[in-house]
Structure formats: structure tokens, C-alpha cells
Amino acid sequence: MMNNLTNVPIVAKFGGTSLADYSAMSRCADIIINCPKSKVVVVSASSGVTNLLVELSTGKLNGPQRTVAISDIRAIQQKIIDNLALSDQVIESISHLLAQLSDLSAAIALKPSAKLTDKLLSFGERLSSTLFTQVLIGKGASAVYFDVRDVLRTDSHFGKAQPQVGAINQLVSERLTPLLADNIVVTQGFIGADPSGATTTLGRGGSDYSAALLGEALGAEQINIWTDVSGIFTTDPRITDQARAIEEISFNEAAEMATFGAKVLHPSTLVPAMRKNIPVFVGSTLNPQAGGTIVRNQTNTQPVYRAIALRRHQTLVTVTSMDMLHAPGFLARVFTLLAKHNLSVDLVTTSEISIALTIDSTGSESGGRAILTPELLAELRDVGQVTIEEELALVALIGNKIDSSYGIGTRLFGALSDVNVRLICHGASQHNLCFLVDDNVASDVVNRLHQQMFSLNSEGQA
Ligand code: ASP
Ligand code: MG
């Protein structure tokens, strides 16, 4: 019976909070056992572990501080182990991982490097996957541990490695697919290996992306992202208690949401899923029966308003040049400079003599300002007068046919009549309308807009 199921497995990924302790892991194991097609399980590190590893990787902790961090990591594992009847061999392999981790953090304290950091960060997922395999086995499942570095080939860009999809597809079919005939395979998210075998990572939160890459390589029926919220919400529930889970959303809409700040999925996750047209489900391990959100190519509904995303810490750069009145090449000069400095632009509006834009600051905690280097600003000043405005927030209204919907202006500006909307982008995409407001009014703006756009019916249709 297993053989025909293995042709189209489901890949299930569990996030850190779902693996925080034994009872959380046990809930995840039940989800896998209750869904026999879930043959590939991708795990994050238990919650808190990657943050501790990041601290260790800075090389800034002294000996006693390192000891504290490592014993915190050990304690998280130990609490799980206490609930399991493990063989000596498994206990030995966990002690071995912890000993290696301790040696490596001492080495990093002497000489930090991006390469050693990735190696260090990999221990979180290696520990959690070792233990989760045992939780499944403890419940009678036939589960095997699999080192994802055998198949998840990346380049050598430590800290944010790019997957090499062709190699991954081939390695998965040679090394992983054969295991599925008789086993549930438990493996690590977030980590990979470059062609020389050095451990790499895909960037924080990258386990979702790993699951999607493996799903793509396996031709999976579905990629299930299990987390601690029951799906993708109409907006951040911390902003308004009116926010609710969206039943279904298209790849395009969800990609816009991820780009514009919704934190549920790692922004690259949908790329492999879209390439192979594999639906992605997002649900909560705390309440698996509650359902969640399905992200797929075609949705049954195409409401004009599906969700509102908010991204804070935006920096608006305006370049103005009187010389450019009717002169060609102004925009080209600005964009050439940005490209030269490796910056990608998010929002743009232009007039005859000026251009206003926000810089994509994904991954920069302090937002756009930090990545505007003095060199870039000096070169931009050769093109024209440069103004920088900070502490702005980007609000993105996401949905369908937004570019050709009547009445959107009235609803939007009606709700925001007393707010200074600093910039608006509308018309390039049928899936979003974005604008900038002062950061300190952003939550209120989202709240009011949500009230205005989503209080009418469950899918936000007017
Ligand atoms: N453990 C990694 C992190 O915390 C990857 C992940 O959880 O997706 O960033
Ligand atoms: Mg995550």
C-alpha cells in the first residue's frame, strides 16, 4: 500500500514553537501519523535554540557565558529526552552533537567566520530532527533520520546560501526518494551544504523554504507548513482582534503578502511551490482540526481585498534634479547607481524632475537607513538633491484586480481622511496597492482599513 502513496508524498514542516518540548513534539508526531501521506518531515530547531546559537556564533561570549548558552541548549534537549526511552546509541549521538557544538563555539570565540557560523547554526536542526525521529519511533512509526546536507545543495554564500535546484532535484531522487518506500523521513530545515560539503544556511526562518525545495524535488502533492497560528491572517492579529485566518489565497497574493511584511512564511517559500504548482497549506499544531490557509495557483474566490500587510522601518529617498526637466536618462542614472550598490528598490513614484523610492531592507533589522551607505548617497548627490525620510511604514492592500476596481479610492481615502499618506503605488500590479504613512500611525491605519475593507463578509468582499 505504501508504494503508491510514496509517489506523491506530502512534505510536512514544523516550526520551532511546535517542537519546543516533548508535548509539542508529540502533537506534531500525531499529525504525521494521522496523515499517512506525510512521508517527509522537515523540522526547525526547537524554539529558542537558534537564537542561542546565533549568540554563540558572534564569538563575543566569554567562556562562562558560552557555558551558560550551551547548558541552556542542553536543557531544552534534556527535557525532551526525559520523556523518551532512548537507546544508548541515540543518547550517545546527542551527547556527541552537544560536545561538537561546544568545541565549535570555542573555536568561533577565537576566530569567528561566516563558514563556522553556519556550521554552528546547523546544530539546532540536527538536534531537533534527531529527537523528533525518536518521538515518532516511540509512537510506533517507522521513521528514519536523514541528513539534509546530503541533498540540499547550495552555493557557498554562508548565512544566506542560494539553493542549486538542479542538483537538489537529482540528489533527492537518488538519495531521499528510495527511503520513502518504507519510512517516514525526518530531516532538517534551514541547512544545506555547498559543493565542497561545507554546511550552509538559507537565512533565518529558512526551514519553510527547505520544505518547499524538497517538495519541489519530490513532486510532492502538498507542502504543509505547521506553525503556531492557524494560517495566514487578513492582517497581523496583534494589530486588530478582527484579523482572521484566510481560507485560501493565490500564490500571487501570498507572495505579495510575504514581500510586504507578513511573517507567516519565509518569503522564498512559494517560489519552488509555484514552479511546480504544489499547494502550500499553513496550519496550527495547537489546533490541527481548525484547518488553516491553503495557498494555491487557482483559488475559488478572487476578492478585491484579501489582506493587509504592514512593513515598518521604511526609508524614503527622494532625488530631485532641475537639470532633468525633459532630459532623458534621469531614472536610468538613479537605478544604475542603486544596482551598482546592490540595492533593490521596493516602491517608486516619479515626477518630471524627481524620483521617490524605498529600498528593500529585508533582512536589515534597522530598516532602509542602515543600507544607504555614505558612498551611495554621495553618488546620488551627483545626480540631484537627495532627501531622506525615515520612520515610515508601508501598508499594502492585497487582493485581486485592485488595479481595475471602482471605488477603491473612496474606501481607502475615506478611511484615512485625517492621515498623511506620504506616497502611493497603484497600478503596476493587479494584486496590490501600497502606500507609506508615518510609522507611529501605522497600526491605527491598518486597524481602520481592516475595519473598512473586511467587516462586510468572511472573505473581505464588499
Ligand atoms: N531555526 C532557524 C531559525 O530560527 C530556521 C527556521 O526556524 O526556519 O531561523
Ligand atoms: Mg519560521
244 in a structural domain: no
280 in a structural domain: no
Minimal CA–CA distance to 243: which of 255, 259, 261, 230?
230
- Which residue from 46, 50, 120, 128 has its CB within 8 A of the most atoms of ligand 1, so it is best to mutate? 50
**Spatial CB neighbours of 373, under 8 Å, sequence gap ≥ 6:** 341
CATH number of the CATH domain containing 86: 3.40.1160.10
Instruction: Express each pLDDT in 140-177 by its tens digit.
Output: 999 999 999 999 999 999 999 999 999 999 999 999 99
The span from the CA of 346 to the CA of 8, in Å, is 38
Q: 190 CB under 6 A from ligand 1?
A: yes
With b for 16 or more beta-carbon neighbours within 10 A and e for fewer, the 147-179 pattern comes to ebbbbbbbeeebbbbebbeeebbebbeeebbeb
Domain containing 218 equals 8-228
CA angle 252, 230, 257 (to 5 degrees): 25
The percentage of the chain sitting over the pLDDT mark of 90, rounded to a whole number, equals 79
415 in a structural domain: yes
CA angle 240, 243, 245 (to 5 degrees): 155
Q: What is the pTM of this model?
A: 0.88
Which of 13-22, 150-159, 348-357 has the weakest average pLDDT? 348-357
If asked whether residues 221 and 320 sit together in one domain, one would say no
* 45 neighbors 127 (Cβ within 8 angstroms): yes
The model's confidence at residue 352, banded by pLDDT at 50, 70 and 90, is confident
353 in a structural domain: yes
Beta strand pairing call for 248-250 and 38-43: unpaired
Q: 398 CB under 6 A from ligand 1?
A: no
Number of compact structural domains in the chain: 2
Which ligand neighbours the alpha carbon of 189 most closely? 1
Atom 6 (ligand 1) nearest CA? 205
Q: Which helix (H) or strand (E) holds 254?
A: helix 251-259
**What average pLDDT does range 23-32 have in this prediction?**
98
Is residue 2 predicted with pLDDT exceeding 60? no
Which ligand neighbours the alpha carbon of 204 most closely? 1
If asked whether residues 176 and 320 sit together in one domain, one would say no
The span from the CA of 250 to the CA of 402, in Å, is 14
254 in a structural domain: no
The span from the CA of 25 to the CA of 395, in Å, is 36
Beta strand pairing call for 248-250 and 199-201: unpaired
If asked whether residues 200 and 346 sit together in one domain, one would say no
The model's confidence at residue 370, banded by pLDDT at 50, 70 and 90, is low
Q: Which atom of ligand 1 is nearest to the CA of 209?
A: 8
The span from the CA of 462 to the CA of 458, in Å, is 10
**Spatial CB neighbours of 261, under 8 Å, sequence gap ≥ 6:** 309, 310, 311, 312, 394, 396
Instruction: Express each pLDDT in 87-124 by its tens digit.
Output: 999 999 999 999 999 999 999 999 999 999 999 999 99
**Spatial CB neighbours of 215, under 8 Å, sequence gap ≥ 6:** 11, 40, 222, 223, 272, 273, 276, 278
316 in a structural domain: yes
Residue that terminates a domain, selected from 228, 250, 285: 228
CATH number of the CATH domain containing 338: 3.30.2130.10
